[in-house]
Amino acid sequence: MKKQGPDQFLAELILSESTKSVLVLSSSNLQPLIEKLEDSLERLMVIPSGDFNLQETFDMCIVLEDVQVSKTQLGLIKNSVAQKIVVIRESVDNKDHKSFLELGFAFDPEISFKKIYSYNLQTYNKKRGWNNSDGWANPENFEKFRW
C-alpha cells in the first residue's frame, strides 16, 4: 500500500463507494478534503462535535479522531443517519475495540497510519441460502411433517 495522508485516504474511500452525501464529525480543518470532493458530492455536512440531532440521512458518515462518540451515538448513526460508517482513531484501547466489534464494525489492520473501523449495512450480514422462510414457519407445512 502506498503512503498517503488522511485527506487522500478519505477522498479515495468516498469516491470508491460512489457516495453522493457525506456527514463528517470533526472540528478539524477539512478544506483540503472538501476541495478534492466538491465536484463529486451532492451534499457534504461537517459537524464539529458528537452532539447532533439529525433528521436527514446520508450515504456515509465519517467520524474523525478529534470527536468522541459514545456507543449509543454510534448506534443512532447506524440506525437512522447512515448505512456506511467509518470511524478513525489515533489509538484504541481494548474496551473501545470491543465496543466497535459489538456494534458490527470491522477493523482494518492493513491501514497503518490510524486505527480504522468501518460498517456497511449492505455487506454486514451476507445472505445465506438457509436463512429464508422457504420450508419453515409456513402454515401449509403444519401437519405434513414431523420433526
What are 29-88's pLDDT values in tens digits? 888 888 888 888 888 888 887 666 778 899 999 998 888 888 888 888 998 889 899 998
Neighbours of 78 (CB within 10 A): 19
Mean of pLDDT values over 88-98: 86
Q: Residue 60 has what pLDDT?
A: 92
Calculate the average pLDDT of the chain. Answer: 81
pLDDT in tens, 128-139: 776 666 656 666
Please tell me the pTM assigned to this model.
Answer: 0.77
Contact between residue 15 and residue 59 where contact means Cβ atoms under 8 Å apart: no
Rounded-to-integer distance, Cα 77 and Cα 146, Å: 44
